[in-house]
Amino acid sequence: MGGRRRQRIFGDRVRGARISAQHAREQARKAIREADAAECLLWSEQMEGFGGPAQPSPTIAQCLNGGYGWLEVMCHRCETRASLPLDAIRRPRDTPIWKLEAALRCRSCATPGYAPPVHLIRLTRERKIAPYPWVHPDDDR
C-alpha cells in the first residue's frame, strides 16, 4: 500500500487548499475594507454636500475598518467645528454614526440645562480640527 505516497499527495493538496483559503479570506477582508471606505465616502459626500440624509450611515466599526477614524461635527449654536476620534468614543462598535448626533454636545456653549444640538458634517481619514471643545456626555460623569 502506498500510505506514504498517499500522505504526501494529500499533504500537498491540503497545503494548497489552506493557502487558497487564506488567500480568499484576505481578499474578502480587503473587499470589505474597500466597501466600508466607499460607504464612509458616500455618507460624507451626502452629508457635506446636501446635509443628509444622516440615516442610514456606516457603523463605528465600519468607519474604523474603512480607515475613516474621524467624525467632523459642528455646533448649531456657536458653529464651533471639531473632529472626534471614533476609536475613543465609548459606544458599541456596531453603533451607526448617525446615532452619535443626539449623544454629543458642545463644551464651548453648553450649560447644565441646555445642550446645543450638534450637526454631523462628514467622516475623514485624518484629524482636520482640534477635538478639544467637544465632549461625550458619558465623559462628564
CB 53 within 8 A of CB 98: no
Beta carbon nearer to Zn ion, 67 or 116? 116
Strands 105-106 and 134-135: antiparallel
Q: How far is the CB of 79 from Zn ion (least distance, A)?
A: 7
Cell numbers at 63, concatenated: 468607519
125 binds Zn ion (CB under 5 A): no
**By the rule CB under 5 A, 108 interacts with Zn ion:** yes
Pairing mode, strands 118-124 and 70-75 = antiparallel
Q: Does 95 bind Zn ion (CB under 5 A)?
A: no
Residue 9 or 78: the one with the smaller Cβ distance to Zn ion is 78
Q: What angle do CA 138, 94, 137 make, to 5 degrees?
A: 10
* Three-state DSSP state, 43: helix
Residue carrying C-alpha cell 487548499: 17
Q: Which stretch binds Zn ion (CB under 5 A): 10-18, 26-34, 60-68, 98-106?
A: 98-106
Which range touches Zn ion (CB under 5 A), out of 16-24, 43-51, 108-116, 124-132? Answer: 108-116
Contact segment (CB under 5 A) with Zn ion among 20-28, 71-79, 81-89, 91-99 equals 71-79
φ, ψ dihedrals at 115, nearest 5°: -110, 110
Residues near Zn ion, by CB under 5 A: 75, 77-78, 80, 106, 108-109, 116
